[in-house]
């Protein structure tokens, strides 16, 4: 059936209430994505076990047994099946969402290679640029208006292209960097995509809303296994790359749409700040880690256990506890900002974010000092290690030795 005739039939059946039709489509996409993710992950786990495609424990790893690391395959399949199962009722963004799938597919194969044999970081960033450029040039997607933040409004086309490309690279790698404990990257991404999806739905951008809720559904299905004791799987670089890319797409389109319709009552005059708040945990954590490494005279891309989730684990929290704390921070900040943002200027909002980042730095420093203090007191160190043993973080031989 021709798509235009199909949409006309649906409009005739549902009358003028296109919002209800879009809502149904988003709900169905969410449920289908969740179902596909849940039924496909056991297959991925079985194949990974048969072919010995497991991630082994290590010094910087937070797991104690070999674990499959190809959950991103199931997430990718769930997104494709749930999104393309039926035609979209919104033709405004259908071309951009299709282009996002093209960019996501490039990163999917790069992630597969990275999970299997590894890939040079420079090449990984190069392919991220290629994926972003598909949307920037073919989809005409770019940040070209800064809402008066620090006095900036319209910006030059070249600056907008470079800024948009930077946003894609930064957010894609930020999600990749926080994927260090059970549920964290998936939980943060679920909250963010559902938030963006809710706004897209309420403003009648149904193609974008459907894609966002599809990602949320796929992640909910993945999290069921990511937290499992007997059927655990990680999303791997495959999952974190495509999730980061899609969240960057939602964030840029959110800012772009609010700029285009900034005189509409549904638009936010501080959309860039809201986008940062929605993704506050990966953005703050990546900034902090890079600053700490640079100040220590190391490469910002060098590996260590200096992420906030590592610090929380070292302070005795379980994976679920650390994830709950960071996801709770993300959710709380998002809700509070949505409630209070209309009474605050963009420049003031940015200054508040800078102050929050300073608090984040102080808290992380305090928790790091606490870990060092505990490590210098044998009794306290033994108690912490016993808690870590219960969480499956360290081996029993360490506790016995102490």
Q: In whole angstroms, what is the distance from residue 241 CA to residue 130 CA?
A: 13
Q: Bridge partners of 55?
A: 67
Reported as a single tens digit per residue, the pLDDT across 266-290 is 667 888 889 999 999 999 999 999 9
The pLDDT of residue 212 is 96
**Residue 300 DSSP class:** T
Tokens of 330: 């993300």
Q: Bridge partners of 68?
A: 54
User: Which helix (DSSP H) or strand (DSSP E) does residue 68 occupy?
Assistant: strand 67-68
**Residue 67 DSSP class:** E
How much is the average pLDDT of 178-194? 93
> Integer distance in angstroms from the first to the last C-alpha of the chain?
71
Angle, nearest 10°, between helix axes 121-133 and 94-116? 170
Q: In whole angstroms, what is the distance from residue 48 CA to residue 46 CA?
A: 5
Identity of the highest mean pLDDT range in 51-55, 125-129, 139-143: 125-129
CB 306 within 8 A of CB 293: yes
Domain ranges of the chain: 3-398
pLDDT for residue 399 is more than 70: no
User: Which helix (DSSP H) or strand (DSSP E) does residue 54 occupy?
Assistant: strand 54-55
What DSSP string describes 287-342? HHHHHHHHHTTS-TT---S-SHHHHHHHTT--HHHHHHHHHHHHHHHHHHHHHHGG
The pLDDT of residue 394 is 46
Q: Bridge partners of 149?
A: 152
Tokens of 30: 């969410």
Reported as a single tens digit per residue, the pLDDT across 340-368 is 777 777 888 888 899 999 999 999 989 88
Reported as a single tens digit per residue, the pLDDT across 136-164 is 999 999 988 887 777 777 888 999 999 99
pLDDT for residue 2 is more than 70: no
Q: In whole angstroms, what is the distance from residue 39 CA to residue 364 CA?
A: 39
The pLDDT of residue 402 is 34
Q: In whole angstroms, what is the distance from residue 242 CA to residue 236 CA?
A: 10
Tokens of 399: 């506790």
Strand locations in 104-252 (E):
145-149, 152-154
CB 100 within 8 A of CB 249: yes
Reported as a single tens digit per residue, the pLDDT across 25-47 is 899 999 999 999 999 999 999 99
Between the CA of residue 326 and those of 67, 131, 254, 257, 317, what are the distances in Å? 23, 29, 23, 29, 12
Closest to 256 (Cα-Cα) out of 242, 272, 245:
272
Reported as a single tens digit per residue, the pLDDT across 222-261 is 999 998 888 899 999 999 999 999 999 999 999 988 877 6
Q: In whole angstroms, what is the distance from residue 129 CA to residue 161 CA?
A: 11
Q: What is the mean pLDDT of the chain?
A: 85
How much is the average pLDDT of 35-60? 85
Say if residue 176 carries a ligand binding annotation: yes
Q: How buried is residue 4: exposed, middle or buried, by Cβ count under 10 Å (0-12/13-18/19+)? A: exposed
């Amino acid at each position: 059936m021709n798509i235009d005739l199909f949409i006309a039939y649906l409009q005739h059946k549902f009358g003028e209430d296109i919002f209800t039709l879009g809502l149904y489509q988003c709900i169905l996409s969410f449920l289908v994505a969740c179902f596909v993710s849940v039924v496909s992950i056991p297959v991925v786990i079985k194949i990974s076990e048969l072919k010995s495609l497991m991630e082994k424990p290590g010094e910087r790893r937070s797991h104690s047994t070999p674990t499959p690391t190809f959950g991103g395959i199931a997430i990718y399949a769930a997104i494709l099946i749930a999104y393309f199962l039926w035609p979209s009722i919104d033709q405004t963004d259908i071309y951009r969402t299709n282009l996002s799938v093209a960019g996501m597919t490039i990163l999917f194969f790069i992630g597969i290679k990275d999970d299997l044999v590894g890939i040079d970081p420079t090449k990984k960033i190069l392919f991220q640029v290629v994926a972003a450029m598909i949307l920037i040039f073919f989809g005409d997607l770019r940040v070209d208006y800064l809402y008066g933040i620090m006095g900036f409004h319209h910006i030059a086309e070249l600056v907008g292209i470079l800024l948009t490309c930077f946003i894609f690279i930064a957010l894609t790698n930020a999600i990749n960097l926080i994927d260090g404990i059970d549920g964290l990257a998936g939980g943060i991404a679920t909250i963010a995509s559902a938030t963006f999806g809710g706004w897209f739905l309420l403003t009648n951008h149904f193609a974008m809303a459907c894609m966002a809720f599809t990602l949320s559904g796929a992640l909910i299905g993945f999290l069921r296994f990511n937290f499992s004791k007997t059927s655990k799987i990680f999303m791997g670089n495959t999952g974190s790359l495509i999730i980061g890319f899609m969240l960057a797409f939602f964030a840029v389109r959110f800012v772009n749409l609010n700029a285009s319709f900034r005189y509409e009552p549904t638009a936010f005059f501080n959309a860039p700040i809201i986008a940062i708040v929605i993704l506050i945990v990966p953005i703050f954590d990546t900034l902090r880690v890079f600053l700490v490494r640079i100040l220590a005279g190391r490469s910002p891309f060098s590996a260590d256990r200096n992420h906030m989730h590592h610090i929380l684990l070292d302070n005795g929290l379980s994976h679920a506890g650390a994830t709950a704390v960071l996801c709770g921070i993300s959710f709380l900040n998002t809700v509070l900002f949505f409630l209070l943002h209309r009474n605050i200027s963009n420049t003031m909002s940015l200054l508040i974010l800078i102050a929050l980042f300073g608090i984040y730095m102080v808290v992380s420093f305090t928790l790091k000092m606490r870990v060092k203090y505990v490590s210098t007191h044998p009794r306290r160190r033994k108690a912490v290690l016993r808690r870590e043993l219960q969480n499956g973080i360290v081996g029993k031989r360490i506790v016995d030795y102490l």
